[in-house]
Amino acid sequence: MTEATEYQDITSQVEQTRTGVELLDLMKEKSDHALAFIKELLVEHDRLFQEEQTLTDRVIEVQEELDTHLDLLEQAKEQASAYQSRVDKLTSDNELLVAENTRLKESSRFSSEAPHGGPKSDKLPDPDQFNGEGKATEIHQRFMTWKRLMTQKMKVNGDRYPTEASRSAYLQSRISGQAAQYLEGWLQAATDNEMTYDQIMSDMTNTFSNRYAKQIARKEYQEVKQGTSDVTTFLHKFRALAVQAGIPEEDQLMDVRDRLSANLRKNLGLYEPTSMPQLIMDVTSLDRRLTEAYAVTADSTAKKGYNRFQQKTAQPVTETTQTVETTTTKKAPYDTGPDLPSHVCFSCGGAGHRMRTCTATEAQKAAHRRARPAGFQTTTQPSGKAEPNSQS
């Protein structure tokens, strides 16, 4: 081996050694960086662990506070329930006191005004016994008369019946027949088989007055018609009887059309209201427009007759004079003679046609509908259409 070769080998080994040292230095540097990064991670881990611990402690505190508030809420609910029970009890007690106070006030009406030991009031005749038998209308009328006489008896002769028991006993003595059978059932259902004067009279009223009043109202409802009365009076009576008799509104809508005058039924045509208040409002408006149309036509007819009379009197008088007796027949408010339009349109308010043949524009119909709630006053124009009047 030559010296050159040995030198190359040594040089190569030195280079390798230098390269190894550089690699070691690089690995050490990277190792230091890694170690520093790990230390940073450990520090961050410790910080996050502390925050987690702090949050966990806070969650525990919040949970404890929530549990405390829930306990307080439950206590508040229990207190509120207790207070409500007390309020209900006080309300019930108050109602009992009010009822007792009312009873005492009612009883005081029958108490004697004469001093203790003084002369008693002049005794009124005893009312006839009420038996509760007969037709519904007769029972209702006889009971109301009997009740009035009993009330008057207690007012005038209250000193003769100073206790509640004496008043109740006297009232029971004036009841017989079927009414006594009702009374026997009430007494059996009452506490200790005893009832006060007011309790008996209240049950009697409910049985022999209020119940038959509904039957009477239903009978009058079936018979009521407009006839010659004005539409406002008729509708008021019809509505009052229907409510008192308990007639459903859909039945009222079907019945009221048949009870109106023939002229109103004809002019209503195919009109179908959805409620009784709407029907009352619209029928009243229609009746007013018919009356106004009649007045305009009657005035026009009177003017034509006056002009014909002037023309006739202007002719030369002949030797033969004939006396003509003229009789004027006044038309009914809803007469549909040749001078009066036979129909008033419910859609536009115009005369001479009905709603199903109306040719008015939507704007005219809308104007008529807007005008109706303000008083339903319309003015018939020469074209046959109705325009709403402006009210000041």
Is 237 part of any domain? Answer: yes
Is 345 part of any domain? Answer: yes
- Are 46 and 102 part of one and the same domain? yes
Which residue among 222, 247, 279 closes a domain? 222
Q: pTM for the full model?
A: 0.35
When comparing pLDDT for 77 and 105, which is higher? 77
- Are 21 and 105 part of one and the same domain? yes
Is 64 part of any domain? Answer: yes
The predicted-structure confidence for 184-211, as pLDDT tens digits, reads as follows 888 888 777 788 999 999 988 888 876 6
- Are 97 and 238 part of one and the same domain? no
- Are 370 and 244 part of one and the same domain? yes
Residue 131 has pLDDT above 50, yes or no: yes
Q: What mean pLDDT, rounded, does the chain reach?
A: 78
- Are 35 and 87 part of one and the same domain? yes
Residue 120 · residue 160 · CB < 8 Å: yes
Average pLDDT estimate for 279-307: 79
Is 329 part of any domain? Answer: no
The predicted-structure confidence for 296-341, as pLDDT tens digits, reads as follows 877 776 666 555 555 555 444 444 334 333 334 444 444 443 343 4
pLDDT band per the 50, 70, 90 thresholds, residue 125: very high
pLDDT band per the 50, 70, 90 thresholds, residue 145: very high
According to DSSP H, which parts of 314-361 are helical? Answer: none
pLDDT at 302: 65
DSSP 228-255: TS-HHHHHHHHHHHHHHHT--HHHHHHH
When comparing pLDDT for 341 and 102, which is higher? 102
What number of CA atoms fall less than 13 Å from residue 146's CA on the CB side? 21
Is 120 part of any domain? Answer: no
Which residue among 170, 191, 222 closes a domain? 222
Which residue among 222, 253, 288 closes a domain? 222
Domain count across the chain: 3
Beta-bridge mates of residue 388: 378
Least Cα distance to 345 among 279, 280, 285, 391 occurs for: 285
The predicted-structure confidence for 163-174, as pLDDT tens digits, reads as follows 999 999 999 999
- Are 366 and 261 part of one and the same domain? yes
- Are 250 and 340 part of one and the same domain? yes
Q: Which domain holds residue 79?
A: 9-110
pLDDT at 42: 92
Burial grade of 329 (CB within 10 A; 0-12, 13-18, 19 or more): exposed
- Are 187 and 296 part of one and the same domain? no
Is 126 part of any domain? Answer: no
- Determine phi and psi for 340, rounding to 5 degrees: -115, 125
- Are 172 and 95 part of one and the same domain? no
- Are 15 and 147 part of one and the same domain? no
- Are 246 and 380 part of one and the same domain? yes
- Are 248 and 293 part of one and the same domain? yes
pLDDT band per the 50, 70, 90 thresholds, residue 118: low
- Determine phi and psi for 327, rounding to 5 degrees: -115, 130
| Long-range CB contacts for residues 141-144, cutoff 8 Å, separation at least 24 | 143/204, 143/205, 143/208, 143/209, 143/212, 144/209
Is 129 part of any domain? Answer: no
Residue type, 273: P
The predicted-structure confidence for 32-48, as pLDDT tens digits, reads as follows 999 999 999 999 999 99
Residue 264 · residue 291 · CB < 8 Å: no
Burial grade of 136 (CB within 10 A; 0-12, 13-18, 19 or more): middle
Mention every residue, 6+ apart, whose C-beta is less than 8 A from residue 249.
275, 276
Whole-angstrom distance, CA of residue 344 vs CA of residue 263: 10
Is 121 part of any domain? Answer: no
Residue 292 has pLDDT above 80, yes or no: yes
